[in-house]
Amino acid sequence: MAEARDERRAAVGELGAALRELVDAAVRTEVPIPELAEAALLAREVTGRLRRQSRELHEIASVDDPEIGERWYSPVYGPGNPVAPPMVATDTPDGRATGRVTLGKAHEGPPGLVHGGVVATLLDHVLARAIRAAGRGGLTATITVTYRRPVRLGVPLLATAEMGTTEGRRTTATARLVAEDDPGTTLAEAEGLFVALRPERAADVFAQTGRDVTAWSSRTD
C-alpha cells in the first residue's frame, strides 16, 4: 500500500508542477484574445478529465497522512496544489522549523511585491510546523504579523520559526522572514498562539472526513 501511495504521490507532484507552470503562464501572458479563448477551452477539457473521479469537499486525499498533518494539496507547501509556491519546509524535534520559497506573479500584491496575506500564510505555516515538530498539536488561535520591509517577487526567501511557551493546550511560537542573501534584514515577523483541540472536540470538528485526524489535537490531556 505504501508503494502505491508513493507512486500516486509522484504522479500528483508531477501534475502539480505542470499546473504551477500553467498558472505562472496564465498570470503573465499577453497573447492575443483569440489565443486566450482557445486556451480557456483546452483548460476546461483538462478540468473535465480530472473531474471524472473526485473527492467530496471534506474527504481527505489518498496521498495525505492526517495523523502527522502531511497535506499534499496544502496551499503553502503541497506538491499537488497549483497555487502553492511551494515552500520546502523542514523541522526538528526541539520545536524549530524552516521554510524556503521563491514567490512569483501568482502571489503578487503591489506590483513586483508579494501580497501581505501570502506573507502571513507562510509565517503561519512555519509557526504551526515548529510546534507540531515538538509534539504539540494545535490550530491557530491568533497570529500577529509585523511587516518590516517590502517582500519582493523572485527572491529566494527563508522563514524560520521557534516554539515558545506551553501551558496546557496552548502553545506560542515566533517566526521571521528574510531574503536568503540578506539574512540580517528582517522582512516580516510573527507571533502565534496555537490551541490544541481536545480529542473529543477534534473528532467532532473532523467528523466529516471519516478519518482519525490527530495532528491538530492535544496529546497531553
Asked whether the whole model's pTM tops 0.85, one would answer yes
The residue extents of the domains of the chain are: 88-209
| 114, 159 contact by CB (below 8 A) | no
* Number of neighbouring beta carbons within 10 Å of residue 64: 21
Question: How far is 95 from 118, CA to CA, in rounded Å?
Answer: 23
Q: Is residue 220 pLDDT above 50, yes or no?
A: no
In the chain, the percentage of residues whose pLDDT exceeds 70 is 99
For residues 49-59, give the mean pLDDT: 93
Give the angle subtended at the CA of 63 by the CAs of 208 and 47, to the nearest 5°: 85
- Which of these ranges, 51-55, 69-73, 74-78, 182-186, has the smallest mean pLDDT? 69-73
What is the CATH superfamily name and number for domain 88-209? Hotdog Thioesterase (3.10.129.10)
Question: pLDDT (tens digit, 9 = 90+) per residue, 105-122?
Answer: 999 999 999 999 999 999
